[in-house]
Structure formats: C-alpha cells, structure tokens
Amino acid sequence: MLTSRIVAGLVAAVLAACGLAVVSTPARASAEDRPGCLYRVVRVKTRLNIRTEPRGRVVDKLYPGDRTWGSCGKSGDWRRIHGTEIGRAGFAHGHFLKKIGRR
C-alpha cells in the first residue's frame, strides 16, 4: 500500500514536470465522507460524558437532546462517537444514545 502511494506520487511529479495534467483520487476518504451513524442524546438530565475508552477518563461532554455522529459498531455496551463541546472522539454508553439515522 505504501509502495503504491510512493509510485503514484513519483508518477504525478514526473508528469507535472513534463507539463501534463494529472487528476488524482484521494487515497482514503476524509472523516466527513466515511459512513457512520447519527445519534441523539436521550435519558440524560445534565450531561453525558465522552470518555477515552469504556470507563476511561472524561474528555468531552454531550447535553440532553444533542446530536452527534460516530461509528455504528459497538464495543460491548459502548459506542464510539464525537463530543460537541470540544469535538473530541471517544466512547459513550449506548443506553444514553438513540440512533436516528446514517451519515
């Protein structure tokens, strides 16, 4: 994989030096293009903590009714999502998240 990226970069550099235009496609999709699920915070009165790992250190917060996105997969009862206050990725317990759609 790394070799093919290097070769593609070298070919693009040679073609650019010769004056030929090259249309390239990205090697991987950005975070906004990757599929995932949309969630809404439910069953929370004050805030929902976003943690570094299940039962880990708190790195961000979500509030009642907030909407966020993250992976559709589960890690036990936990889901990997993005917080809204600071925007960091982490884990929140699935009991407090309602899936409202896909990205």
pLDDT band at 103 (very low <50, low <70, confident <90, very high): confident
Which pLDDT score is estimated for 85? Answer: 81
pTM across the whole model: 0.65
Q: How many helices (H) and strands (E) does the chain have?
A: 1, 7
Q: How far apart are the first and last CA of the chain?
A: 27
Q: Which domains does the chain have, with CATH numbers?
A: 36-102 (2.30.30.40)
Helix or strand (DSSP H, E) at 18: helix 2-18
Inter-residue contact 58 to 49 (CB < 8 Å): yes
Q: pLDDT tens across 19-32, in order?
A: 654 454 455 555 55
The residue behind tokens 């961000």 is: 60
| pLDDT value, residue 79 | 95
pLDDT digits over 60-101, tens only? 999 999 999 999 988 999 999 998 888 899 999 999 999 999
Whether the CB-CB separation of 91 and 82 falls below 8 Å is answered with no
pLDDT at 70: 94
pLDDT at position 84? 85
